[in-house]
Amino acid sequence: MPSFKQNGQEYNANIVKVEKQLLPAILAATANNGQSLANWLIKNCVEGDVVDASVKNILQAVNALDAAKLIDWKIAPIQKPQKKRPDVLQSHDGNPVNHAKPDRPSEFDLMMGQERKRRERLGDIENGKLMSEAAALVRNHTNYPHSRAIRERDVLRKEFDRLVAAKTHPNEVLAALKAKQSEFDGVDVTRPHLGN
């Protein structure tokens, strides 16, 4: 059987130092803990026939045995959740690469997303129809005489361009163009008037 590098007094002093480093956790003073620590040290910290029971090695033994759930605690250590570390490319710049799969959305989120997309498509289709109708109103405006129709169409086109540049809703664009077109009924508003 291998012998310990430290005598009994040094070994006990090292155990006290380990216990101070483990605070607020407290190891239980059980035969199981003593036997488990000794076995781990004999298995992992042997140099020839000598076992090194240093503070560092005892701490490693406690951590390894605790991870394997082989240590008895009077007061168990607080388990901190592990932080996820990003993977780093094997390069000089160390750019992080996240290979973790994103959290899967719930079925409800998927259904709501599909419904939102469906409504957007319907809205886009409806808005597209309204804008097509507004463009057709400008393009197909007619009046008599022809020169008057050209001037009125030019006024409608400028109004259409102004409303589109202002990002006006298609409903309002169409309503504004119809209102502008109704101003043309009866009187030639595009021709300048001299005097009264």
pLDDT tens per residue across span 159-194: 999 988 888 888 898 999 999 988 888 777 666 655
pLDDT higher than threshold 60 for residue 89: no
At residue 27 the predicted structure's pLDDT band, cuts being 50, 70 and 90, is confident
Average pLDDT over residues 39-47: 88
Lowest-pLDDT choice from 50-64, 103-117, 164-178: 103-117
Q: Give the β-pairing of 50-51 and 3-4.
A: parallel
pLDDT higher than threshold 70 for residue 103: no
The predicted model scores a pTM of: 0.40
Q: Which long-range contacts (CB under 8 A, 24 or more apart) does 126-132 make?
A: 126/170, 127/169, 127/170, 130/170, 130/171, 130/173, 130/174, 131/170, 131/173
